[in-house]
Amino acid sequence: MRIPSILFILLFSFLLIGCATHKIKNISYLPTLSSVSETEITPTLSVFTPKKVPAEKMPVLIFVHGGNWNSGSKELYGFFGRNFAKKGVVTVIPGYTLSPNATYDEMTQQIAAAIVWTKENIEEYHGDSEQIFLTGHSAGGHLIALATMNPKYAIEASSISGMIFNDAAGLDMKHYLEENPPTQENNYITTWTTNPEIWKDASPIYFISEKTPPIMVYLGSKTYNSIKVGNQRFLEKLKPFQPTITPIVLDKKHVPMMVQYFWPWSHRYDEIIDFITQQK
């Protein structure tokens, strides 16, 4: 098949998906008192729904982007929201304040606020507030896990039906920073401080319990070693509570673990929807 033909097929496919879905963008989700300074743009979220709404309420998926806690934007991931909405999953994509303008704690507070907003408002968009799932790539995986699992963020674990980690970073940040002390590179001192007790507070692995929602894990076989180690340590501690959990390991590097969702026919969509269905 010639390249122009392939490009035409791709363009036609994405036009069909865009016509079949609806995006409600830049919705304010943070309470009036937030951690965002007056010089920063207040984060917002977008909601993606199918244009043809079914009679029954749809499951909801909140996606948090990655970017090493200091880069990235929700605007880059419209394809993710559209593809899931086309398949009958209301998708919420929040933005959040990045380092050096926020610490991990402030970012997690914002993601927790996005979860609360979704719980309280998603039925207006035909989503089921009793079927809320979370997913995140890289730093986004860390933020959804910490917001849900660390009780200080006040998210009731039972209100989350499941979490999907996509090459999640930072699951055991304390272990990583003990071996790689933070410097100004990548704004890590700003993000994590130099206090090991704070590193522990920032690490989802220390909050695993019988209350932890069901978890699905994707891991790239060619990803960063720090992510492999963090996921391995996390899974070992999770296993007593979720004994059947087995990571889905894909022959990919870190960034392609997210890029694969660009294609609406990716098997990842079917796998995640199967996971969602199993939690009913």
> Distance from CA of residue 4 to its chain's centroid?
34
Domain that holds residue 107: 17-278
Answer whether residue 222 is part of any domain: yes
CB 163 within 8 A of CB 142: no
Answer whether residue 8 is part of any domain: no
Task: Provide the domain count of the chain.
Answer: 1
Answer whether residue 11 is part of any domain: no
CB 62 within 8 A of CB 128: no
Answer whether residue 1 is part of any domain: no
For the chain, the distance separating the N- and C-terminal CA atoms, rounded to the nearest angstrom, is: 42
Which residues is 60 bridged to in the sheet?
Answer: 90, 132
Q: How many other C-beta atoms lie within 10 A of the C-beta of residue 246? A: 11
Answer whether residue 7 is part of any domain: no
Sequence letter at residue 136: G
Answer whether residue 53 is part of any domain: yes
Model confidence, pTM: 0.92
Which residues is 27 bridged to in the sheet?
Answer: 45
Answer whether residue 10 is part of any domain: no
CB 217 within 8 A of CB 165: yes
Answer whether residue 3 is part of any domain: no
The CATH number that applies at residue 255 is 3.40.50.1820
pLDDT tens per residue across all 280 residues of the chain: 344 544 444 444 454 455 689 999 999 999 864 554 544 679 999 999 999 888 899 999 999 999 999 999 999 999 999 999 999 999 999 999 999 999 999 999 999 999 999 999 999 999 999 999 999 999 999 999 999 999 999 999 999 999 999 999 999 999 999 999 999 999 999 999 999 999 999 999 999 999 999 999 999 999 999 999 999 999 999 999 999 999 999 999 999 999 999 999 999 999 999 999 999 8
